[in-house]
Structure 1
Amino acid sequence: MKMYELFDINLKERELLSFIGAGGKTTTIFKLAKELKNLKKKVLVTTSTAIFYPEKDEFDKIIVSSSNDIIKTLRSINRGTITVIGREISSENKLLGLSKETIDNIYNIDIFDYILVEADGSKRKSIKSPADHEPVIPSRTDKTVGVIGIDSIEKKINEENVHRLEEFCRVVNCKPGDTIDEEKIYRLIKNQKGLFKGSPLKSKKYVLLNKVDNRILEKRALKIVELIIKNKVTINSIIVSSIIGEKYHVFNESLMGQ
């Protein structure tokens, strides 16, 4: 199965996808972008927060500009390319993001076939809960992909393993020092202030349970899927995956009885 099929991407329509959460957002975005490029699509990768500066083989053109006229520079973009845009480069070699309003404007001018947005920061940890100012999701988002690294299972809930520790404990009703398990991840997904906080109402929701790199983690991930299905949480699709290993198991709306 191709990655664009995981997210039900219609190859005949434009789409804006926002990726939130933790545990593989950037890797997922660039693998998806490459697939769409190979299908001769114009792909924009950007962020409304920050991402590490991409490797040279991950893009065809990169634009770093804080100018409000950035849209004027996009008219000459060729088909079958990946363009990366940010407003500046930080001292940590991070590409700092555009405002969500600018991203909406780029979507509206109909230059790119697909816009892939990293809309949340995670400090390279596998699980997080958003702070008050997060995530930063453009209003024109068609699909919101919430990412959780299943390698966080059985780890202690502390600053080392969880991004936004205080918010996480509040959302999943736990305390520092507890252990991450399936129930806590389920609570993170279903809570309105959890994984999908701020997702546009019309945006379809996809849960990506990533880093499922062995049979033990697969069984743990499937328990989370069971909880979501049993409790009829409003999710369009759940993907149990190893993005790096290119292994995917999809649970869609029909299986969830929606």
Structure 2
Amino acid sequence: MYFRRGAGDPCISGSFAPMKQKVQKKNLEFLDALRLSTEEPWKLALVGGGGKTSLIFRLTEELVARGNQVIVTTTTHMAYEPERPFARDGEEELVRKNLREKGYTMAAAWDGSSEKVAGLSEEKLEALFSMGAFLLIEADGARRLPVKVPKSWEPVIPKSADLVIAVVGLDCLGRPIEEIAYEPRELAAFLGKKTEEKITPEDVLSLATSKRGLKKAVGKRRYVIYLNKAELAPETAFSLAKTLQERGYQAAYGSLKEGWIKRGEER
């Protein structure tokens, strides 16, 4: 597959700041581009590279704006943001209070050694979901690096999860594996490359579609691929998303930093 790179596709590196701006109604919303219905609450697990937390809170923002309630949690570790409502250990009374007052809450254990929030049990997740809120679960860690291949125990997708979104940061393109991957040796082995070799669009396709890659442990759940940081390589992002859809996968590309998203068939 030939991937066309436009004048705006330098494949440069760039830092990512968690998105704080308000939802821009002029753009297609992330819920719609990812084809996430809001008719009934669902349990969504997010896996893959950096950008999962930002995508979680973007979806939370859109869900709350539509009058829904959302619980954000993790099965691994997740950065603690003190400005957000938080129910330690998923304490149900506080969860209900935050949902009533804010429309959403984080609900997780607390890991004092890392000063991050940590995972809850499967039973606790079920108890939270029984409250009638949408459940968004960060089920993988990448230390904010754009790509990774899961270790033997990863990802930690709850048995009851309805769907999985895999996130890939396109700032990986054209850069050496050793610079942009979480556990570079494992990703290099998966791709059959050396750690000093660069990531190509074909590598992204392999990672996103393999059951040893980001599709690991998905099973029969609905699976969606989101290509983030598309502002760095818009033509390549479109070609990748289009190719994924032609191969039978649901895909979207966009920029959490700039606040836009497109479906795989849309340029």
Instruction: Quickly name the TM-score band, shorter chain normalised.
Output: 0.7 to 0.9
Q: Are the structure 2 counterparts of residues 146 and 94 from structure 1 closer, same or farther at C-alpha, using a change threshold of 3 Å?
A: same
Residue 82 (structure 2) pairs with residue 64 (structure 1):
no
Instruction: Report the counterpart of residue 11 of structure 2 in structure 1.
Output: none
Q: Does residue 204 in structure 1 map to residue 253 in structure 2? A: no
Instruction: Please identify runs of 4+ aligned residues in structure 1 that moved more than 6 A.
Output: none
Q: Which residue of 2 aligns with 1:20?
A: 47
2:71 to 22, 32, 44: 44
Tell me the alpha carbon deviations over residues 1-37 of structure 1, each in whole angstroms, 9 at most, x when there is no partner.
1122123222221111111101311111011111111
Relative to the length of structure 2, the TM-score reads 0.81
Instruction: Give the conservation status (yes or no) of the 8 Å contact 1:47–1:118.
Output: yes
By how many angstroms is 1:200 displaced? Answer: 3.6
Distance 1:222 1:75 in 2: 41
The code of the aligned residue for 1:82 comes to Y
Amino acid corresponding to residue 31 of structure 2 in structure 1: Y
Q: Percentage identity across aligned positions?
A: 24
Displacement of 1:190: 1.7
Over aligned residues, Cα RMSD in angstroms?
2.1
1:44/1:112 contact within 8 Å kept: no
Q: Secondary structure, in 3 states, of the residue corresponding to 1:213? A: helix
Displacement of 1:191 = 1.3
- Cα offset, 1:185, TM superposition: 0.8
Q: Matches of 1:5 and 1:195 in 2, distance apart?
A: 22
- Higher mean alpha-carbon deviation, 1-10 vs 138-147, is at 1-10
Please say if 1:142 is aligned against 2:166: no
Summarize the Cα distance change of 1:92–1:127 in structure 2 as closer, same or farther, 3 Å threshold: same
CA distance in 1: counterparts of 2:80 and 2:245, whole angstroms = 38
CA distance in 1, matches of 2:153, 2:62: 32
* Whole-angstrom distance in 2 between the partners of 1:45 and 1:74: 10
Q: Could you tell me which amino acid in structure 1 is paired with residue 225 of structure 2? A: V
For CA contacts below 8 A with separation 6 or more, give which structure has more relative contact order. 2
- The aligned counterpart of 1:122 is 142
Q: Secondary structure at the match of 2:226?
A: strand
Matched, 1:78 2:97: no
- Give distance in 1, aligned partners of 2:92 and 2:218: 25
Q: d(CA) in 1 for partners of 2:69 and 2:261?
A: 25
Shift of 1:65: 2.4
2:231 pairs with one of 207, 213, 216? 213
1:175 aligns with 2:202: no
The answer to whether the 8 Å contact 2:150/2:212 transfers is: yes
Contact 1:42 1:79 in 2 (8 A): no
Distance change (3 Å), C-alpha of 1:225 and 1:31:
closer
1:249 equivalent in alignment to 2:258: no
TM-score of the two chains, using structure 1 as the length reference: 0.84
* 2:31 aligned counterpart, secondary structure: helix
Amino acid in the other structure paired with 2:69? K
Deviation at 1:74, TM superposition (A): 4.2
Give 2:18's aligned residue: none
2:59 maps to which residue? Answer: 32
Report the equivalent of 2:116.
94
Aligned equivalent of 2:125, options 92, 103, 112: 103
Q: Secondary structure at the match of 2:181?
A: coil
Q: CA deviation at 1:113?
A: 2.5
Gap change, CA 1:228 and 1:40, over 3 Å in 2: closer
Question: What is the Cα deviation at residue 64 of structure 1?
Answer: 1.3
Report the count of equivalent residues: 238
Matches of 1:13 and 1:139 in 2, distance apart? 19
